[in-house]
Amino acid sequence: MEPSAQTSGRLGRRQFVRTMTGLGLSAAGASLLAGCSVLAPPEKPSARVFRLGVFHVGTDHVPPSLQTLRERLASLGYEEQNNLELDWRNLPDEEAALATAQEFVRNRVDLIVAFENQTARAAKAATTEIPVVFLHVEDPVVNGWVQSYARPGGNLTGFVGQPDLPDKRVEFFKETVPELHTLLVLTDPQDPSTRRVLMTVHRTAGALNVGLLEREATDQADLERVFGGLRPGDADGVFIASQTLLVKHQALILRLSLEKRMPLMSQRREWVEQGALVSYGPNLARTGRAAADHYIDKILKGARPADLPVEQADSLELTINLKTARALGLAIPQSVLAQATEVFQ
């Protein structure tokens, strides 16, 4: 006679208890284990050490997303001095960025993290094989780094953290400073995005009846010359039309603007915290965490950049510094304060 299913279960249980007892476990302990699910041991962290090349242009500041990126990678199990080597470089210009990107390629890093346009261009020029995650860039399709947002198609993907918003920034600047009649527009002729941004600034300023005083600058000496040549009444505010100037000379432009008692429109809340009057743009610190989750972790586990869609910053923030406004004798309209995400007193 074939044993019933219930009998077979009992026989299997007795056999398990005999086996465990033979291995030195008491019968009571073996019986307890027999009634429980046996869990597989937790997977051990990979013994492999991942190597990341991380770089940025702009030696007077560090991207606000760098620290949050490191923190999130650590929480995901990528620990520096353990299974992660993070080679961080803060560089003076795009020429240095290209040399660094080529060095990363020679060192055969597992992944490159490029902050902003200049390092993204350098990484694109240096490699078609090593995965590249860019952060805080302008339109990567227009710049030729990816085929489309949905399907990047190559070895680059990442976050659009500096969307082309010159029109909105000019509009918010005029709304924040109603007496803004002439705008000092700083441009770097070597920045490929300058012409495109300038076209938008011209169109928006014309619609708002705001005049433009355009001045070219590439380095510190140029900027000091531009501001040194300003006479009282030449301009009522400062607007930066080239991202290279935004990232390379943040502290200098802010200092020169305040010395001339001219309000500055920025794209980062960190600038406003340090004294700029107003900013409009994404919260860059959040992007660091998201980049670790959405891209770096996935790529290190085998995903291809070509298959990971380019993402945009989840929200845009309007930030105002009332202390700067008071120092410049400006009264911020209540309609603007009501729209502000954050106000520094």
3-state per-residue secondary structure call for the chain:
CCCCHHHHHHHHHHHHHHHHHHCCCCHHHHHHHHCCCCCCCCCCCCCCCEEEEEEEECCCCCCCHHHHHHHHHHHCCCCECCCEEEEEEEECCHHHHHHHHHHHHHCCCCEEEEEHHHHHHHHHHHCCCCCEEEECCCCCCCCCCCCCCCCCCCCEEEEECCCCCHHHHHHHHHHHCCCCCEEEEEECCCCCCHHHHHHHHHHHHHHCCCEEEEEECCCHHHHHHHHHCCCCCCCCEEEECCHHHHHHCHHHHHHHHHHCCCCEEECCHHHHHHCCCEEEEECHHHHHHHHHHHHHHHHHCCCCHHHCCCEECCCEEEEEEHHHHHHCCCCCCHHHHCCCCEEEC
Checking if the pLDDT of 36 tops 90, the result is no
Tokens 């600038």 -> residue: 271
Checking if the pLDDT of 19 tops 60, the result is no
Give dist(CA 146, CA 132) in Å, integer: 11
Give dist(CA 91, CA 58) in Å, integer: 6
Rg of the chain, C-alpha, whole Å: 28
AA identity, residue 50? F
Checking if the pLDDT of 9 tops 60, the result is no
The sign of the torsion formed by the CA atoms of 156, 219, 164, 336 equals: positive
Checking if the pLDDT of 11 tops 80, the result is no
Cα dist. 189→120, 215, 257 in Å? 19, 10, 21
Render the burial of 300-319: b for 16+ CB within 10 Å, e for the rest: beebebeebebbebeeebbb
- List the beta bridge partners of residue 111: 52
The answer to whether residues 237 and 184 touch, using CB atoms and an 8 Å cutoff, is yes
- List the beta bridge partners of residue 275: none
Burial label, 223 (beta-carbon count in 10 A; 0-12, 13-18, 19+):
buried
pLDDT tens profile 226-238: 999 999 999 999 9
Give dist(CA 241, CA 239) in Å, integer: 6
User: Domain 50-163+284-314 is in which class?
Assistant: alpha beta
Tokens of 173: 């600047």
Task: Say whether pTM exceeds 0.75.
Answer: no
pLDDT tens profile 272-322: 999 999 999 888 888 999 999 999 999 999 999 999 999 987 678 999 999
Instruction: Band the pLDDT of 46: cuts 50, 70, 90.
Output: low
Instruction: Band the pLDDT of 163: cuts 50, 70, 90.
Output: low
The answer to whether residues 53 and 112 touch, using CB atoms and an 8 Å cutoff, is yes
The sign of the torsion formed by the CA atoms of 156, 280, 313, 256 equals: positive
The predicted pLDDT at position 314 comes to 67
The domain defined by 166-282+317-344 folds into Rossmann fold (3.40.50)
The predicted pLDDT at position 43 comes to 45
pLDDT tens profile 198-256: 999 999 999 999 999 999 999 999 999 999 999 999 999 999 999 889 888 988 999 99
The Cα angle at residue 47 between residues 41 and 52, in degrees rounded to 5: 130
Domain ranges of the chain: 50-163+284-314, 166-282+317-344
pLDDT tens profile 110-135: 999 999 999 999 999 999 999 999 99
- Round the average pLDDT of the chain to a whole number and report it: 87
Tokens of 263: 């309000």
